Amino acid sequence: MGYDRLEIKSILSLLGCPAVLKENDLKDGSPFMEVQLSSETAAKALMQRTVLSKRLYELWGEGSNLLEVKEQIKQLPKDSVEPYTNECSSFRIVVETFNKKLSTSDKIKRIEQLTEPGSVFCGQINLSQPDNSFHLLEFYHFEGTSQPANKPSKVYFGRWVSDGQRDRIRQYHLQNRHFIANTSMDACLSMVMANLAQVKDNDFVLDPFVGSGSLLVASAHYGAYVAGTDIDYLLLHARAKPSRAKQKARSRDESVRSNLKQYGFESKYIDVLVADASRHKMWREGCHFDAIVTDPPYGIRESAAKIVNVKDSEVKSTDECAQRYPQKAQYQLGDIFKDLLNFAAKFLRRGGRLVYWLPIYKPDYHESNIPQHPCLEVESNCEQPLSTTISRRLITMVKTEDYTNNGEQEEPQASIPVDHYECETFRQKYFRAVESEASATKGGGSTREESVDS
């Protein structure tokens, strides 16, 4: 299932709106989806959250040509059409085509056909501020490789109900973000993740690998209180190397807090700790998050490290008061994800959600590579290809069972049925793939390193 369907399903389930998402009969890249909703209020509430859906219409007709659509509009019950088409309501019709350009005169011809005498449209045309807006949407298949077909394969006609939240992508764009890191999550994916996590007003959301806090910005947008941890002291204290090309040094106020402040969410900021996410004992028992939304390090552009237990005698310090830097070791990907699931099983409230990215080497991937936990159920698993061999999967899990550890039974533990990275790390697989892609491209061509974020 694509991200757009997943996002819609997740928002509708959060809103408690029963809905049917119809399978698309247009296989080749149709941008349309038919959804049966219980009311216009539900439809508007859905569009108030979605960043992936552009616009929602009440469907008045569909077919393979305009005549079929006109016939369907005629058959609609009068009382459902009349409030929007009567003499007192102004209207406009917008013609939109996909995969083909229509001339203005062709568009006008279609509008004239729809509004000819005897049609349901009785109001005045008003192009700038109509009471109601109707859209004729035509989808053309590509014939062969580049030529669109002469006739549309699908025509829809609908009454405009609401736009989605695509503008938010610009509003939260990383380009204008005060504090960014090398692997800051882009605004659109951050908001999709918050929607899959069903973040809502007054939730408490944690990102254990917080970086520059992009996922916290998106969660705060949906009304949550937010907190995070990151092992990188220098990054959280604005002393890391700048991530912007022309910036010489970070300014002192670059922080997750200042990012939230930038968008007016400072009151939603709980705190960010310099801490190792593998250390679960730092959290008070019974502390429950509504959602954990995170992008763990894959070990490509951000190192994946954890603190190892060192006895005091092994700590190298010049004197007793010297600052102690704990020793770090490589954090294997398999361990990162098992630790993350164990943490979520313990610290999410029941019904709470864990949303995270899992990097994948495609030739070896199998569903058995997805980490499991007896208290968590996989709700969705969606691929984002990054190159021909590398992708990452956006996994959503729901805590379905309480975590119980009464000392009598063994603690429920996360596992990975077949650990993708047991014999070879993601980093090794990744660079092997980059090398073979480069040698396949004549002259050693460009690599795709830049497409992997973490």
Ligand X SMILES: C[S@@+](CC[C@H](N)C(=O)[O-])C[C@H]1O[C@@H](n2cnc3c(N)ncnc32)[C@H](O)[C@@H]1O
Q: What is the binding site for ligand X (CB under 6 A)?
A: 181, 183-185, 208-209, 211-212, 214-215, 229-232, 235, 276-278, 295, 297, 302, 304-306, 331, 454
Which residue is associated with the tokens 């959290």? 283
Identify the sign of the CA torsion 434, 436, 442, 443: positive
Of 7 and 232, nearer to ligand X (C-beta) is: 232
Of 85 and 190, nearer to ligand X (C-beta) is: 190
Strands of the 289-294 sheet, one edge to the other: 269-274, 225-230, 204-207, 289-294, 348-361, 390-399, 376-385
CB 232 within 8 A of CB 182: no
Of 185 and 224, nearer to ligand X (C-beta) is: 185
Per-residue burial over 303-337, b if 16 or more Cβ lie within 10 Å, else e, is: ebbbbeeeeeeeeeeeeeeeeeeeeeeebbbbbbb
Q: Give me the least distance between CB of 240 and ligand X, in Å please.
A: 9
The DSSP string of 1-41 is: --HHHHHHHHHHHHHT--EEEPPPS-TTT-----EEES-HH
The DSSP string of 292-338 is: EEE----SSSS--EEEPP--GGG---SSTTS--PPPEEE--HHHHHH
Q: Give me the least distance between CB of 43 and ligand X, in Å please.
A: 32
Q: How many CA atoms lie within 13 A of 299 on its CB side?
A: 23
Q: Both tokens of residue 285?
A: 């028992």
Q: Which residue has the CB atom at the shortest distance from ligand X?
A: 211
Dist CA 431 CA 425 (whole Å): 10
Alpha-carbon Rg for the chain in angstroms: 26
Of 355 and 416, nearer to ligand X (C-beta) is: 355
CB 46 within 8 A of CB 37: yes
Of 203 and 295, nearer to ligand X (C-beta) is: 295
Dist CA 325 CA 231 (whole Å): 12
| Angle value at C-alpha 242, between 238 and 245, nearest 5 degrees | 160
Of 41 and 303, nearer to ligand X (C-beta) is: 303
Of 45 and 187, nearer to ligand X (C-beta) is: 187
Which residue is associated with the tokens 């590579």? 369
Of 55 and 393, nearer to ligand X (C-beta) is: 393
Q: Give me the least distance between CB of 293 and ligand X, in Å please.
A: 9
